[in-house]
Amino acid sequence: MRFTLGCLLFIILSFSISAQDTPIGTIAFYNLENLFDTEDDPAIEDEEYLPSGEREWTEERYQAKLENMSRVIADMAYGPDIVGLCEVENRKVVEDLIQTDNLKLKRYQIVHFNSPDARGIDVALIYKQGRFTPFDVRTLRFKDPSDIDFKTRDILWVKGLYNGDTLHVAVNHWPSRRGGKEDKRLIAAEILRKAVDSVQSINPNAKIVLMGDFNDDPSNKSVKKVLMADNKEKKLENGMLYNASGDTFKDGLGTLFYRGAWNLFDQIIISQSLLKDQATNYYYIPNSFKVFAGEYMREAKGQNQGAPFRTFSYGVYQNGYSDHYPSIIFIGKK
């Protein structure tokens, strides 16, 4: 199935809201696909992304990658209030990202921790100063008792003040599908679900946003059964989460094109306390989840027409963007 122009126009332009749903903010997620610097870090496997490495990752290519990634972020609703990121090598590359001409005037700040991932790719959060104020930050470490040597990205959990009320944000990058690993993603889902349960046991009405590259679709067991996230609002029971990405996936659209099919791995999932009928102060505007796929981010022709225009294609450098499209939701004021 090709990502047709009609589909793309639907994704980018079909956000219609009522007069009662004026947006006051946006929250987004973007997999940056291997945002590495050019310096060798002996602690991780970054040899591929060095000037002498397989990718010939020169300073010129690094700066072009920063320019491309920052352009996308800036073009999403003029720069979202909060952006979850994954596949960043370290804090330095995120610092370089927010200091690009596209983003430096937006006053983004950073939350980042180094993860135990062997390749050194981490998750991070950037947020606009004055729009979101973190006051509690921690990581949720992945542990598989049956495979203690397996290492992957931590889940980043940030608690802060947003639009006058507390908001919990979790940034995820679950284990890859390469070589299977469904069991690993189920464990990641259990870890995240326990964190949600812990917060809700103290405050059942806590506002929570879970975002990330889950390496699973909204219909997969890890998301639907373990996380208890569903897109059917009327069927949500106590403690269940609302998957804002679900309807888009049901329509056959996605963020990642692989082997001729679309996946929607880059999801945004919210607590019921952010649904309009239940929320106080601010809320998720109904049907406002969108995949952002600007024309410049897409393959223009060929069998992959409409798919993400990547930095490399079959090992050949093409100065593209990412293999994932970002996702975004809009926030309204009560």
Domain presence at residue 212: yes
Of 317, 316, 295, residue with least CA distance to 308: 295
Instruction: For residue 13, give the 3-state DSSP assignment.
Output: helix
Which CATH number do you get for residue 110? 3.60.10.10
Q: What is the pLDDT of residues 139-178, one digit of tens each?
A: 999 999 999 999 999 999 999 999 999 999 999 999 998 8
Range of the domain at 259: 5-14+25-333
CA 11 distance to own-chain centroid: 17
Domain presence at residue 19: no
* C-alpha pair distances (Å), 262 with each of 254, 256, 275, 290, 307: 5, 6, 27, 15, 9
Q: pTM of the entire structure?
A: 0.94
pLDDT at 8: 46
Domain presence at residue 149: yes
Domain presence at residue 145: yes
Of 72, 271, 29, residue with least CA distance to 173: 29
Domain presence at residue 43: yes
Question: Do the beta carbons of residue 278 and residue 208 sit within 8 Å?
Answer: no
pLDDT at 6: 39
Mean pLDDT of 117-133: 96
Domain presence at residue 84: yes
Percent of residues, the chain, with pLDDT higher than 90: 88
- Domain count within the chain: 1
Q: Which helix (H) or strand (E) holds 171?
A: strand 165-173
Over 70: is that where the pLDDT of 3 sits?
Answer: no
pLDDT at 178: 82
Q: What is the pLDDT of residues 20-75, one digit of tens each?
A: 778 999 999 999 999 999 999 999 999 999 999 999 999 999 999 999 999 999 99
Helices (H), 137-278: 182-202, 221, 246-250
Distance CA 192, CA 198 (A): 10
Mean pLDDT, the chain, as a whole number?
Answer: 93
